[in-house]
Amino acid sequence: MGALDQELAQELAAWEARGLTRREQALEGLVDLVTNDYLNLAQDPHLIEAARRAAERYGAGGRSARLLGGGSPLDREVERAAAEWLDAEDGLLFPSGYQANTGLVPALVGPGDLVVSDALNHASLIDGARLSRARVEVHEHLDAEHLEHLLQQGGGARRKLVLVEGVYSMDGDAPDLGLWSRICARHGAALVVDEAHALGLLGPAGAGAWAASDGDPSVLAARLVTGGKALGAMGAVVVGSAVLRAQLVHRARGFMFSTAVAPAIAGALLAGIEQARAADRGRDRALGLARDLAGALGLPMPAAAIVPIPTGSLDRAIQASSKLRAKGLDVRAIRPPTVAPGSERLRVVCHSHNEPSDLQDLVTTLRELDLPTAGAAQQSLPSASPLVVLGTDTDVGKTIVAAALLRAASKEGPAHYWKPVQSGPDCDTQTVKSLSAGKVLDPGYTFDLPASPHEAARAEGREVDLAELDRMLSEHLTLPGTLVIEPAGGVQVPLTDECLQIDWLARHRLPSVLVARSGLGTLNHTLLTLESLERRNLRPRALILVGPHHPSNHDTLARMSRLPVLELPLLDPLGRESLDGWLEEQDLSCVLPATMVSTR
């Protein structure tokens, strides 16, 4: 085994130790409550026969990219059929939904542009935004106010693009696309809707979430029609204007540099579109089963056919999935990093071919497992609004900022403070407790040596257990109200010998603010820290400068970071009264949008 393989083996062992190992598992005759084959079209004889005929006529493979003669005449037929179904001008066929989204977004925006993306968007949309090199802002899941705030802040962008899903694959919820389109119209933004889990189920003739909405068509840039879910095949078509298609042919690398889909796939897609459009009984059955299941378990009504069932912990999710499998029901446990720690769940997908008795068996088995009751299950999902107070370095004023934000949040409702690792004799938790009205939680780890977490732990013959830190975070995320989290030192300090603090934070993708000094030397430290954060898709909500007012540094950082910049002077005396005086002069809506704290 080479050196690289040894390192990879160690990484895999770490995943195994945390219970996060993934393995391919076929259905093996089990009742399908897991796949995205909503209308059972993957088994439909019309699709199978269409695929056979296409292969016999045009061959087994796509041969090359379409710009080099690959594919078959069926490709254009698929594009036109998808566009006609969704009432669009035209479309472009890609080999997969992932390639479609990673090709689409960079073809529409680039440097100097702004992308605003939902926090729970699919990885393909996230990666497409990253590849575009546009500035990316992430709004809280389905938070229209936060979306509008970010668009307002991006007024100087050349183009603005909003990315959203018609139905979210892990939560089963959906945006109000009419509202989303009106927000886009107010701010000159274009809208992309990924219809992956809405197509075939929602809208007239199953044409998707946008077709079911009262959206403003003037802002709609593109929709994604995926072939591997309700259509029973694979591939994806981006539908929109004829101009959009031409742009994608010239700019979408996932189209330009990929072999065309096999003719059998194109043939199956054509048949799948025809069958899905006519499948009113099938979609009604799938949607009805999902509603019945949610009602039986006391869960919120799903937007389509996905019902997430909270389990309260990773172990219980895995245990429940195994028990259901033993009963002949294929329901998978959804674990980090697919979902955030603390929101582990079972993901049940209802199909047109499922029987009510299948779901009754599911409900009975879940009750036997003594999973949380409906009310407790709801509470087991993260209910806290977390905010991480990051620093460019140690002693930049993070603790005072954390105390101030905790104090502000506590005036709106429950608020808690947590420090994952405390090192050194100066206890930040006690400082926050003395300055704020919120509840402080015990630090995750406490070490005597004032050093980076990995060094402080080593000095005592200990180490920071990342799995245990994840568990504590998951537990704290179930608390009500606001959770203010203050990591140790600067973002780049090591938590362990193998893991930097910034990489642990990137796994959890929690909202943050960045605290920096106001004076000499701050430009270099702050801009480097921001660059490091943005490489990991961790863009802070705001920058808070601590110290005497420095107009030049303030203006430079505001211009180059494009973040809201707040200033906290060195308060003398430092106490609750002086913090309240500062808070009275601040508009913290950019920092705490969930509560829209504004004491000005």
Catalytic residues: 36, 122, 165, 169, 194, 197, 229
CA dihedral (194, 536, 517, 466) positive or negative: positive
Contact, 382 vs 313, CB < 8 A?
Answer: no
Cα 599 to Cα 384, 434, 473, 545, distances in angstroms: 22, 21, 29, 19
Please report where in the chains the tokens 């799948």 appear, as a residue. 272
In whole angstroms, give the CA distance from residue 393 to residue 297: 48
Could you say which DSSP state residue 43 is in? Answer: G
Across the strands, what pairs with 347? 308, 332
DSSP code per residue over 235-262: -EEEEE-HHHHHHHHHH-HHHHTSPPPP
DSSP code per residue over 45-85: HHHHHHHHHHHHHH-SS--S-GGGT-S-THHHHHHHHHHHH
Q: What Rg, from alpha-carbon coordinates, does the chain have?
A: 26
In whole angstroms, give the CA distance from residue 348 to residue 96: 23
Contact, 39 vs 200, CB < 8 A?
Answer: yes
In whole angstroms, give the CA distance from residue 484 to residue 512: 9
Q: Cis (ω within 30 of 0) for the bond into 494?
A: no
In whole angstroms, give the CA distance from residue 125 to residue 138: 12
In whole angstroms, give the CA distance from residue 537 to residue 367: 40
Could you say which DSSP state residue 534 is in? Answer: H
Amino acid identity, position 386: P
Nearest Cα to Cα of residue 77 among 290, 261, 325 = 261
With both helix axes pointing from N to C terminus, report the angle between 398-410 and 428-435 in degrees, rounded to the nearest 10.
40
Cβ contacts of 22 within 8 Å, gap of 6 or more: none
